[in-house]
């Protein structure tokens, strides 16, 4: 998987689409942000066949039904894992959040994730696992 020629602009478009919006399970959540980022950066639509879900329980159930213990395991099955210290802008990863994993996008010294309050910037030091998006 390689990065598309105009991936920085495409990544900026994804970020802009998530800014100012509210968190909605299955539409505008941390998992959908990560999937949109991977597609923007590489053109690969991983897990495009993901069924609808509308709650944290529903999202977790879908991952378990596919044999994953969390977002990190699902990303590891589709993308090359890299040490968090080597993650680059446009890569994706997971942080620990409220007893589980939350998907995030690496944007440099920080990561972005979808929280109930909307798109949230967090310190990159919270990155638990990272994956090359292209």
Distances (CA, A) of 24 to 18, 72, 88, 111: 11, 20, 27, 20
Euclidean distance between CA atoms 106 and 90, whole angstroms? 6
Q: pLDDT digits over 35-47, tens only?
A: 999 999 999 999 9
Over range 20-25, report the average pLDDT.
Answer: 91
Q: pLDDT digits over 103-115, tens only?
A: 999 999 999 999 9
Q: What local confidence, expressed as pLDDT, does residue 33 receive?
A: 97
Question: Considering the chain, what is the average pLDDT of its residues?
Answer: 95
Whether this model's pTM surpasses 0.85: yes
Q: What local confidence, expressed as pLDDT, does residue 98 receive?
A: 80
- For the chain, which domains are there? 7-131 (3.90.1720.10)
- Count of residues in the chain: 134
Model confidence at 74: pLDDT above 90: yes
Over range 26-32, report the average pLDDT.
Answer: 95
């Amino acid at each position: 998987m390689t990065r598309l020629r105009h991936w920085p602009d495409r990544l900026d478009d994804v970020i802009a689409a998530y800014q100012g919006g509210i968190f909605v399970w299955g539409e505008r959540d941390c998992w959908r942000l990560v999937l949109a980022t991977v597609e923007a950066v590489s053109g690969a639509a991983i897990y495009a066949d993901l069924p609808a879900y509308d709650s944290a329980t529903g999202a977790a159930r879908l991952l378990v039904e596919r044999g994953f213990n969390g977002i990190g395991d699902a990303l590891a099955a589709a993308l090359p894992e890299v040490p968090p210290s080597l993650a680059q802008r446009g890569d994706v990863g997971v942080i620990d959040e409220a007893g589980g994993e939350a998907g995030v996008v690496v944007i440099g010294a920080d990561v972005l994730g979808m929280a109930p309050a909307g798109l949230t910037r967090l310190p990159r030091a919270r990155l638990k696992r990272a994956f090359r998006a292209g």
